[in-house]
Amino acid sequence: MNTTASTITAAPHIPVLIVGAGQAGLSLSVYLQQRGIGHLLLEKHTPMHAWRHQRWDNFCLVTPNWQCKLPGHEYAGDAPHGFMKKKEIIAWLDAFLLKVNPPVRTGVTVKLVQPRAEGGYLVQTSVGDYTADQVVVSSGGYHLPIVPRLAERLPRGILQIHSEQYRNAEQLPPGEVLVVGSGQSGAQIAEDLHLAGRRVHLAVGDAPRCARCYRGRDVVDWLADMGYYDMPVDKHPLREGVRDNTNHYVTGRDGGRDIDLRTFATQGMKLYGLLRELDDAGGTLKFDDTLASALDRADQTYNGINAAIDQHIAKLGLDADGALPPASVYEPVWQPQAVDASGVSPHTELDLAAQGISAVVWCIGFQPDFAWVQAPVFNGRGQPVHQRGVTGQPGLYFLGLPWLYTWGSGRFSGVARDAMYLAEQIEGARGGAGLGEWQRQGELVG
Ligand X SMILES: Cc1cc2nc3c(=O)[nH]c(=O)nc-3n(C[C@H](O)[C@H](O)[C@H](O)COP(=O)(O)OP(=O)(O)OC[C@H]3O[C@@H](n4cnc5c(N)ncnc54)[C@H](O)[C@@H]3O)c2cc1C
What is the C-alpha to C-alpha distance for residues 141 and 383, in angstroms, rounded to an integer? 10
What is the C-alpha to C-alpha distance for residues 301 and 214, in angstroms, rounded to an integer? 14
Q: How far is the CB of 106 from ligand X (least distance, A)?
A: 9
> Across the strands, what pairs with 378?
384
19 in contact with ligand X (CB under 6 A): yes
What is the C-alpha to C-alpha distance for residues 135 and 392, in angstroms, rounded to an integer? 13
Q: How far is the CB of 136 from ligand X (least distance, A)?
A: 11
Cis-peptide into 326, omega within 30 deg: yes
Q: How far is the CB of 156 from ligand X (least distance, A)?
A: 28
374 in contact with ligand X (CB under 6 A): no
What part of residues 52-91 is at the interface with ligand X (CB under 6 A)? 61-63
Name, in order, each residue with C-beta under 8 angstroms of 202's C-beta and a sequence gap of 6 or more: 178, 179, 182, 186, 190, 261, 264, 269, 270, 271, 272
44 in contact with ligand X (CB under 6 A): yes
Window of 17-25, 280-288, 378-386, 436-444 that interacts with ligand X by CB under 6 A: 17-25
411 in contact with ligand X (CB under 6 A): yes
Q: What pairing do the DSSP bridges indicate for beta strands 357-362 and 176-180?
A: parallel
Window of 14-22, 170-178, 349-357, 438-446 that interacts with ligand X by CB under 6 A: 14-22
418 in contact with ligand X (CB under 6 A): no
Window of 21-29, 264-272, 355-363, 438-446 that interacts with ligand X by CB under 6 A: 21-29
Of these, 11, 12, 35, 50, which contacts ligand X (CB under 6 A)? 50
What is the C-alpha to C-alpha distance for residues 407 and 387, in angstroms, rounded to an integer? 15
336 in contact with ligand X (CB under 6 A): no
Q: What angle do helix axes 23-35 and 415-429 make, rounded to 10 degrees?
A: 40
Q: Would you say the C-alpha torsion 40, 45, 51, 52 has a positive or negative sign?
A: positive
167 in contact with ligand X (CB under 6 A): no
How many residues bind to ligand X according to rule CB under 6 A?
30
What is the C-alpha to C-alpha distance for residues 112 and 373, in angstroms, rounded to an integer? 6
Question: Closest CB to ligand X among 188 and 348?
Answer: 188
20 in contact with ligand X (CB under 6 A): yes
Q: How far is the CB of 307 from ligand X (least distance, A)?
A: 25
Write out the DSSP string of 267-298.
TT-EEE--EEEE-TTSSEEEE-S-HHHHHHHH
In this structure, which amino acid lies at residue 272? Y
Window of 40-48, 222-230, 311-319, 380-388 that interacts with ligand X by CB under 6 A: 40-48
185 in contact with ligand X (CB under 6 A): yes
24 in contact with ligand X (CB under 6 A): yes
Residues that bind ligand X (CB under 6 A): 19-25, 42-45, 49-51, 61-63, 109-110, 138-140, 142, 185, 372, 400, 410-413
